[in-house]
Amino acid sequence: MTHYSIFSLVKGALCGPGAWSPAWREPEPKAEYDVVIVGAGGHGLATAYYLAKEHGITNVAVLEKGYLGGGNTGRNTTIVRSNYLLDGNAHLYEWSMKLWENLSHDLNYNVMFSQRGVLNLAHSDAQMDAFRRRGNSMRLNGIDAELLDREGVRAMVPHLNFEDARFPIYGGLLQPRGGTARHDAVAWGFARAADSRGIDIIQNCEVTGIRREGNRVTGVETSRGFIGAKKIGIAVAGNSSRLAAMAGLRLPMESHLLQAFVSEALKPVIDTVVTYGAHHFYVSQSDKGSLVFGGDLDGYNSYAQRGNLPVVEDVITAGLSLFPNLSRVKLLRHWGGVMDMSMDGSPIIGKLPVEGLYLNGGWCYGGFKATPGSGWVFAHTIANDQPHPINEPLSLERFETGAVLDEKGAGPVPGHH
């Protein structure tokens, strides 16, 4: 496999396409693996990579029903942050942030991680108080946080509507180390690095059943035949409940639609990530110049990867109330993904009550930023058959014990998290 460097780039430029080797193989599935990961999104691929890198487990297959990175990993608005209030979440996302900071070097693949800051806007005194509390909690956890007043926000993002906004801007909570990454590159980088360590990535291979003997898994039925597995890790985001049902389990999770949008390319206008605290809206500008933005869920449960027009109108209305100067910008594309919304809004990473079966899901709006950290702790959990201290609070059992992690205090309503 080609090691990417300035020298390989020059060689590629001089010698043409023949100088490059494929980024990963297209292997045929073997009869059995030590570990089968279902889902070649960022989380499944990162898990496979860290299984090989951290635990020396390489007899692993990642099975993908479509093409790798074609799920939510390739559909999200790419915001990366670790600005969480509760310890259980803060530790996971901050560990992930630390892995992001060295990920391009680690994978030898430019994931275009850009620490341009994430700014949450506040629109009332009460919200400023809540942000102050969250910022303090972040700092106690060693996470960077800065509370900005209205003028501080104006200095950072002068195009915001400070004149006659429906919800006036009072200030904001900034995480300077937050930002964005290139979503496809994250999937491709992990795929290439996992493949180079001997992991089989098998695309166009849908898992249709989970075979058990007693209370232990023995393998998966797939569209390409039965594949034996000593351990199975589920990392299928919005399809988590479907996969768990194949093992006879019902998860505290619902699947919802979320859309994302990009505009035509503009000259630089927003050099950070802005989120709107009075309505649900978040925006950044891609390196190509497009505004990348999103808003609320579509509001009903679905497994369809497409959304509805009323949400398009709702999201754009919210955006324009913040940035009226963008009213003549053209929308280029929008699309949908299937969100794995958990009952408390926090992910579930851990063992399931079937021997050898593990779950990585319940990511709601925010699983992209967790990709490296989630893969790292999930690999640890699968390799050792027990969670790492970082994902211990994120177990499925918390719904039995009541130790839920309801970051927003929204209650057991998945669509509200």
Ligand X SMILES: Cc1cc2nc3c(=O)[nH]c(=O)nc-3n(C[C@H](O)[C@H](O)[C@H](O)COP(=O)(O)OP(=O)(O)OC[C@H]3O[C@@H](n4cnc5c(N)ncnc54)[C@H](O)[C@@H]3O)c2cc1C
Give 61 or 128: the residue with its C-beta nearer to ligand X.
61
Q: How far is the CB of 14 from ligand X (least distance, A)?
A: 36
Q: How far is the CB of 2 from ligand X (least distance, A)?
A: 25
Q: Which of 204, 267, 237, 279 is nearest to 366 (CA)?
A: 237
Per CB under 6 A, the list member of 89, 115, 175, 239 interacting with ligand X is 239
Q: Phi first, then psi: what are they for 236, rounded to 5°?
A: -115, 15
Kindly state whether residue 236 participates in binding ligand X, applying the rule CB under 6 A.
yes
Contact 203, 45 (CB under 8 A): no
Give 256 or 388: the residue with its C-beta nearer to ligand X.
256
Q: Annotate 152-201 with DSSP letters as a single string.
A: HHHHH-TTS--SS-SS---EEEEETT-EE--HHHHHHHHHHHHHHTT-EE
Kindly state whether residue 73 participates in binding ligand X, applying the rule CB under 6 A.
yes
Residue 296 has a CB neighbour count (10 Å cut-off) of: 17
Q: How far is the CB of 37 from ligand X (least distance, A)?
A: 9
Per CB under 6 A, the list member of 8, 32, 70, 184 interacting with ligand X is 70
Kindly state whether residue 34 participates in binding ligand X, applying the rule CB under 6 A.
no
Span from 18-26, 196-204, 234-242, 309-317 in contact with ligand X (CB under 6 A): 234-242
Kindly state whether residue 249 participates in binding ligand X, applying the rule CB under 6 A.
no
Kindly state whether residue 253 participates in binding ligand X, applying the rule CB under 6 A.
no
Strand blocks (E) in 9-65: 32-38, 60-63
Per CB under 6 A, the list member of 128, 237, 251, 283 interacting with ligand X is 237
CA angle 109, 261, 308 (to 5 degrees): 135
Kindly state whether residue 66 participates in binding ligand X, applying the rule CB under 6 A.
yes
Integer distance in angstroms from the first to the last C-alpha of the chain? 42
Q: How far is the CB of 117 from ligand X (least distance, A)?
A: 14
Kindly state whether residue 117 participates in binding ligand X, applying the rule CB under 6 A.
no
> What is the total count of residues that contact ligand X (CB under 6 A)?
39
Kindly state whether residue 64 participates in binding ligand X, applying the rule CB under 6 A.
yes
Kindly state whether residue 61 participates in binding ligand X, applying the rule CB under 6 A.
no
Q: How far is the CB of 16 from ligand X (least distance, A)?
A: 32
Span from 16-24, 71-79, 195-203, 296-304 in contact with ligand X (CB under 6 A): 71-79
Kindly state whether residue 349 participates in binding ligand X, applying the rule CB under 6 A.
no
Kindly state whether residue 283 participates in binding ligand X, applying the rule CB under 6 A.
no
Structure tokens at 92: 């996971």
CA distances from 346 to 105, 168, 176, 280, 307 (A): 29, 30, 23, 18, 23
Per CB under 6 A, the list member of 4, 33, 36, 41 interacting with ligand X is 41
Report the distance separating Cα 291 and Cα 230, nearest Å: 45
Edge-to-edge order in the sheet of strand 290-301 = 146-149, 171-175, 118-122, 273-276, 281-285, 290-301, 253-265, 331-342
Q: Phi first, then psi: what are they for 230, rounded to 5°?
A: -75, -35
Per CB under 6 A, the list member of 49, 75, 99, 145 interacting with ligand X is 75
Q: How far is the CB of 375 from ligand X (least distance, A)?
A: 9
Contact 172, 181 (CB under 8 A): no
Kindly state whether residue 373 participates in binding ligand X, applying the rule CB under 6 A.
no
Q: How far is the CB of 162 from ligand X (least distance, A)?
A: 25
> Mask of contacts with ligand X, 168-207, x by CB under 6 A?
--------------------------------------xx
Q: Which of 23, 380, 41 is nearest to 195 (CA)?
A: 23
Q: Annotate 300-354 with DSSP letters as a single string.
A: EE---S---HHHHHHHHHHHHHH-GGGTTPPEEEEEEEEEEEESSSS-EEEE-SS
Q: Which residues bind ligand X (CB under 6 A)?
A: 38-44, 63-66, 70-73, 75-79, 206-207, 235-237, 239, 243, 258-260, 294, 337, 339, 363, 365-369
